[in-house]
Amino acid sequence: MSIKGKAYIAGVFEHPTRKAPDKSIAQLHAEVADGALADAGLSRADVDGYFCAADAPGFGASSMVDYLNLKVRHVDSTELGGCSYIAHVAHAAQAIAAGKCNVALVTLAGRPRSEGHSGTMARPRDPNQPDQPWEHPYGVATVNGYGMCAMRHMYQYGTTSEQLAWVKVAASHHAQHNPNAMLRDVVTVEDVLNSPIISDPLHRLDCCVVSDGGGAVVVVRPEIAKSLERPRVKIIGAGEAIKHQNGGDIDLTYSAAVWSGPAAFAEAGVKPADIKYASIYDSFTITVIIQLEDLGFCEKGKGGRFVADGNLISGVGKLPFNTDGGGLCNNHPSNRGGMTKVIEAVRQLRGEAHPAVQVKNCDLALAHGTGLQLATRHGAATLILERE
């Protein structure tokens, strides 16, 4: 069963905070939930489906449904790291199509900035993780895993640090218009190259920010969407996949988007060239280049050339991306960038992005993310949305 046209995004909300030392994670979840419901013109009493990932505190969905005092008949806590929420929107559409719920709420929140987490630290591991003995001793943080992917991409395809830097430059051009963005200064390729190397070949400005915050999305069945006084954003295609170490047959030059992307395009019945705006997870600049290739926006190995010279800047290039400033400049709540990718795509389709970055006649958008560690195991989720 296809989800095409079976559900709509009726409400979105991005928490304006970037540092929340005086709020609990559950409280942030509640604030974004209420924000997205208010945006849709709905209330907590309307919600009958709830979706969250591993950022939800306590017992996950059960703790959050309790805290929010919801009554739900459908629950999903699929965990794919930072792209989980993109997959949740698709799962919500599936659940709605199957008659399992009418109003699905997806929430994300976290405060890694207040808690002092960054991408240079290895995270604690579950001793029962099957590859714990084969990973934990080696100091896999976030940045050095993605760094290896960049090193290999450069080695195999001649991708350069200058090309990587263009991704950040484009994001900064967008972020200057976002009053909530953590980094609003426009930067140049030179600024990126002059920032210190964190882990080869990634400079400080190749890395996303660490921020507190969160976001939420409300997905509803078509009859409800039509009864609400908001521009209608229809879900027309989705895909998800997991790529891993493949028994030791490693290829770091591609991501699971090679599977999630074509699945989403096939379901939607559109091609990459039809997309007017793309939200692309930008944990690091290299992440964007690899995903753009895998999604079919350019040939494999040519992502560096594709992003160069401002091609991702709204109003300048061929593929406007992350017009909120993305994870590189705006925010990266809970170290998970998937939610904000959906939210900015919805803003673009509604015509509610900042006028300086709003894409003209934006009727077709893509939101794509990668979650966990690109170099070892990661999830990917692709969503294609249409303005009705």
Binding interface with another protein (CB under 8 A): 120, 122, 127-128, 130-141, 143-145, 147-152, 155, 196-202, 245-250, 252, 375-376
CA–CA distance, 137 with 6 (Å, rounded to integer): 47
> Which CB, 112 or 119, lies closer to another protein?
119
> Which CB, 94 or 253, lies closer to another protein?
253
Phi and psi at residue 121, to the nearest 5°: -105, 135
Residues whose CB is less than 8 angstroms from the CB of residue 129 and which lie 6 or more positions away in sequence, other chains included: 135
Residue labelled with tokens 């290039």: 317
What minimum distance in Å lies between the beta carbon of 286 and another protein?
A: 11
In one letter, which amino acid is 197?
I
What is the residue-wise DSSP string for 1-61?
Answer: ---TTS-EEEEEEE---S--TTS-HHHHHHHHHHHHHHHHT--GGG--EEE--TTS-TTTH
> Which CB, 116 or 196, lies closer to another protein?
196
> Which CB, 42 or 149, lies closer to another protein?
149
> Which CB, 302 or 377, lies closer to another protein?
377
CA–CA distance, 276 with 318 (Å, rounded to integer): 9
What minimum distance in Å lies between the beta carbon of 37 and another protein?
A: 41
What minimum distance in Å lies between the beta carbon of 247 and another protein?
A: 4
What minimum distance in Å lies between the beta carbon of 202 and another protein?
A: 8
> Which CB, 6 or 203, lies closer to another protein?
203
What minimum distance in Å lies between the beta carbon of 281 and another protein?
A: 19
> Which CB, 130 or 179, lies closer to another protein?
130
Whether the CB-CB separation of 76 and 82 falls below 8 Å is answered with no
What size, in residues, is the chain?
388
Q: Strand pairing partners for 233? A: 9, 387
What minimum distance in Å lies between the beta carbon of 132 and another protein?
A: 5
What is the residue-wise DSSP string for 263-296?
Answer: HHHHHHT--GGG-SEEEE--SBHHHHHHHHHHHT
Whether the CB-CB separation of 143 and 202 falls below 8 Å is answered with yes
> Which CB, 108 or 167, lies closer to another protein?
167
Peptide bond into 201 cis (omega under 30): yes
Side-chain-side CA neighbours of 203 within 13 Å: the count stands at 19
What is the residue-wise DSSP string for 161-179?
Answer: HHHHHHHHHHHHHHHTT-T
> Which CB, 20 or 252, lies closer to another protein?
252
What minimum distance in Å lies between the beta carbon of 127 and another protein?
A: 4
What minimum distance in Å lies between the beta carbon of 253 and another protein?
A: 9
- What is the DSSP-derived secondary structure letter of residue 106? E
Note the helical H segments in the chain: 25-40, 61-68, 84-97, 112-115, 132-135, 143-157, 161-175, 189-194, 222-227, 257-268, 285-295, 303-307, 326-329, 338-350
> Which CB, 115 or 131, lies closer to another protein?
131
